């Protein structure tokens, strides 16, 4: 199964994504991921959720090939709504969500990680938003939770990546470890949370969300508005077609 859930006796639920070759998720998978995360948190036996991935990288965003192979805007709308649902699920999950990031985390992956409660990463992990190279916008809301404001703008406009080590320096990544130690490290942190009274932890998650200075769901919805405008103008198709044909940004 591309998205699986496993539970241990300590109340730690691990949600694993596996969509070869690069974990670029089709529209339906974003909704499925949202459902699995929320279901895990709603179960009173759950103390903490770990979100991880198999393969070359953690997440490569939406499946652009699916979008370009679909007539009209149904795939675009599905991808945008699916991403919003999955990002919100991480944020709204009733218990803390730890993300274990291996390899690349780009596009929609930033939305998942930016809304998580704890981030651990492999020492080869990179994070970035190639949105402007795809004729789209989105997840600046979440990138802004990982890096300082001006660096966020620089990364966004240039579509450059930032390393796990840089994010550890900023304090947004908790630990950077060799890839073979990644899941074990996430489980170590999860065990510390699982040892607490889950009633208190659930209240703490709700409290922290309610004092958040930015409404992440409304902020992301505003970003999506500009993505829709670029699509209606035909700009986004030009960039996505170029990427599907060459694997590179338009004009590169």
**Residue (of 148, 128, 12) closest to 59 by Cα position:** 128
Domain boundaries along the sequence of the chain: 3-178
pLDDT in tens, the chain (252 residues): 699 999 999 999 999 999 999 999 999 999 999 999 999 999 999 999 999 999 999 999 998 777 777 777 888 888 899 999 999 999 999 999 999 999 999 999 999 999 999 999 999 999 999 999 988 899 999 999 999 999 999 999 999 999 999 999 999 999 999 999 999 999 999 999 999 999 999 999 999 999 999 999 999 999 999 988 988 888 877 887 777 778 777 766
* CA-based nearest residue to 7, from 48, 56, 53: 48
Its pTM surpasses 0.85:
yes
pLDDT of the residue at 73: 82
Cα distances from 40 to residues 4, 6, 125, 212, 229, in angstroms, run: 11, 10, 26, 23, 36
Supply 233's token pair: 């103008």
Structure tokens at 43: 């179960």
The phi and psi torsions of 211 (rounded to 5 degrees) equal: -100, 5
Q: Cα–Cα distance between 23 and 56 in angstroms, integer? A: 8
Pinpoint the alpha helices (H) of 69-215.
74-92, 108-114, 140-143, 149-158, 164-170, 182-194, 198-210
The answer to whether residues 112 and 91 touch, using CB atoms and an 8 Å cutoff, is no
So what's the pLDDT on residue 234? 84
Q: How far apart are CA 202 and CA 219, in angstroms?
A: 24
90: helix, strand or coil: helix
Please say whether the structural domain 3-178 has been given the CATH code 3.10.150.10.
no
Burial class (CB within 10 angstroms; exposed 0-12, middle 13-18, buried 19+) of 48: buried
Half-sphere exposure of 135 (CA within 13 A, CB side): 24
């Amino acid at each position: 199964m591309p998205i699986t859930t496993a539970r241990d006796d300590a109340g730690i639920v691990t949600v694993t994504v596996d969509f070869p070759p690069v974990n670029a998720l089709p529209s339906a998978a974003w909704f499925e991921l949202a459902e699995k995360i929320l279901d895990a948190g709603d179960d009173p036996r759950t103390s903490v959720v770990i979100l991880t991935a198999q393969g070359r990288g953690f997440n490569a965003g939406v499946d652009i090939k699916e979008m370009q192979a679909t007539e009209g805007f149904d795939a675009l709308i599905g991808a945008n709504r699916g991403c919003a649902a999955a990002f919100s699920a991480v944020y709204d999950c009733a218990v803390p969500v730890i993300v274990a990031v291996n390899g690349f985390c780009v596009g929609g992956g930033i939305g998942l990680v930016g809304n998580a409660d704890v981030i651990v990463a492999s020492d080869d992990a990179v994070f970035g938003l190639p949105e402007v190279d795809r004729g789209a916008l989105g997840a600046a809301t979440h990138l802004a939770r990982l890096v300082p404001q001006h660096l966020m703008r620089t990364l966004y406009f240039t579509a450059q990546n930032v390393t796990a080590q840089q994010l550890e320096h900023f304090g947004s990544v908790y630990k950077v470890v060799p890839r073979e130690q990644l899941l074990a490290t996430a489980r170590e942190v999860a065990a510390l949370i699982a040892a607490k009274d889950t009633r208190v932890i659930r209240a703490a998650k709700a409290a922290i969300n309610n004092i958040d200075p930015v409404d992440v769901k409304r902020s992301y919805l505003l970003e999506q508005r500009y993505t829709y405008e670029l699509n209606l103008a035909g700009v986004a198709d030009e960039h996505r077609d170029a990427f599907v044909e060459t694997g590179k940004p338009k004009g590169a």
